[in-house]
Amino acid sequence: MTTKNKRGRGRPTVDSERVDTRLSRDILDGLDAYSATQEDEPGRAEAVRRIVRDWLSRRGYLKSGK
């Protein structure tokens, strides 16, 4: 395999930005409870993405339905 054809390591490039935040224990407990109700039991990061996307979508703040 030549250098030109070599695959990079890590996650694929996505148009995104990292957001770090601290959450109180009651919110973390709620997040964990939400995850437990989902068939695929997402981790906290994915659960937050889903909840935020759903909230923004329901209120018309998302530009697309991605």
Each residue's pLDDT tens digit, 14-40: 889 999 999 999 999 999 999 999 999
How many residues are present in the chain?
66
Nearest-angstrom CA–CA distance, 60 and 32? 26
Q: How far apart are the C-alpha atoms of 22 and 39, rounded to whole Å?
A: 26
H-run or E-run covering 11: none
Confidence of residue 11 (pLDDT cuts 50, 70, 90): confident
pTM of the predicted model, to two decimals? 0.74
Cβ atoms < 10 Å from Cβ of 47: 19
Q: Which of 48, 41, 43, 42 is nearest to 27 (CA)?
A: 48
Domain ranges of the chain: 24-66
